[in-house]
Amino acid sequence: MSSIPIILVAALGYVAAYRLYGSWLGRRIFKLDRGAVTPAHALEDGEDFVPTKTEVLFGHHFTTIAGTGPIVGPAIAVIWGWVPAILWVVLGPIFMGAVHDLGALVISSRHRAESIGEIAEEIISPRVRTLFLLIIFFLLLLVIAVFGWVIAVIFKLYPQAVIPVWAEVPIALWLAWAVAKNKVSLRVGALVAVAAMYAFVYVGYKVPFTMPEIAGVHPTVTWIVILLAYSYVASILPVQRLLQPRDFINSHQLFIVMAALVLGLAIARPAVVAPTFDPHPTGAPPMIPMIFVIIACGAISGFHSLAGSGTTSKQMNSETDALPIGYGSMLLEGFLAVLVILACTAGFPDTAAWKAHYGDFAVANGLGSTVDAFVHGSSNIMAAAYGLPVALLATVMGVFVVSFASTSLDSATRIQRYVVAELAADFNIDFFKNKHAATSFAVVTAAALALAQKGGTGALLLWPLFGTTNQLLAGLTFLVIWAYLLRRGSPTWFAFVPMVFMIAMTGWAMVLNLDLYYQKAQWHLLVMGGIVLVLEIWMIAETVMVSRSLRAARPERSAG
- Write the pLDDT tens digit of every residue in 339-397: 999 999 999 989 999 998 898 888 777 777 888 889 989 999 999 999 999 999 999 99
Output the pLDDT for position 365: 76
* Position 241 pLDDT exceeds 70: yes
With b meaning 16 or more CB within 10 Å and e meaning fewer, what string describes 263-282? ebbeebebebbbbeebeebe
**558 domain residue, yes or no:** no
What gap in Å lies between CA 289 and CA 511, rounded to an integer?
11
**557 domain residue, yes or no:** no
**189 domain residue, yes or no:** yes
* Position 420 pLDDT exceeds 80: yes
Dump pLDDT digits (tens) for 166-183.
Answer: 999 999 999 999 999 989
Which of 406 and 85 is assigned the larger pLDDT?
85
Mean pLDDT of 3-17: 95
What gap in Å lies between CA 545 and CA 552, rounded to an integer?
13
**186 domain residue, yes or no:** yes
**467 domain residue, yes or no:** yes
Residues sharing a CB contact under 8 Å with residue 238, sequence separation 6 or more, in sequence order: 46, 47, 48, 50
* Position 310 pLDDT exceeds 90: no
User: Shortest CA distance to 3 belongs to which of 378, 278, 362?
Assistant: 378
Q: Count the helix, strand and coil residues of the chain and give each as a percent rounded to the nearest 5.
A: 80, 0, 20
**560 domain residue, yes or no:** no
Domain CATH for 423: 1.20.1740.10
Report, in angstroms and rounded to the nearest whole number, the Rg of the chain calculated over CA atoms. Answer: 22
Residue 470 and residue 67 in contact, taking contact as beta carbons nearer than 8 Å: no
**475 domain residue, yes or no:** yes
**218 domain residue, yes or no:** yes
Rounded percentage of the chain residues whose pLDDT exceeds 70: 97
Output the pLDDT for position 538: 84
* Position 559 pLDDT exceeds 50: no
Domain residue limits at 452: 3-552
Mean pLDDT of the chain: 91
Q: How many domains does the chain have?
A: 1
Residues sharing a CB contact under 8 Å with residue 457, sequence separation 6 or more, in sequence order: 149, 220, 450
DSSP symbols for 41-81? HHT--SSS---B-HHHHHHHHHHHHHTTHHHHHHHHHGGG-
**Residue 126, CA distances (Å) to 189, 423, 426, 522, 543 in order:** 46, 12, 10, 33, 11
What is this structure's pTM?
0.93
**Residue 552 — pLDDT band, cuts 50, 70, 90?**
low
Alpha helix segments (H runs only) across 275-389? 287-294, 302-310, 322, 329-346, 351-357, 361-364, 367-386
What gap in Å lies between CA 178 and CA 248, rounded to an integer?
14
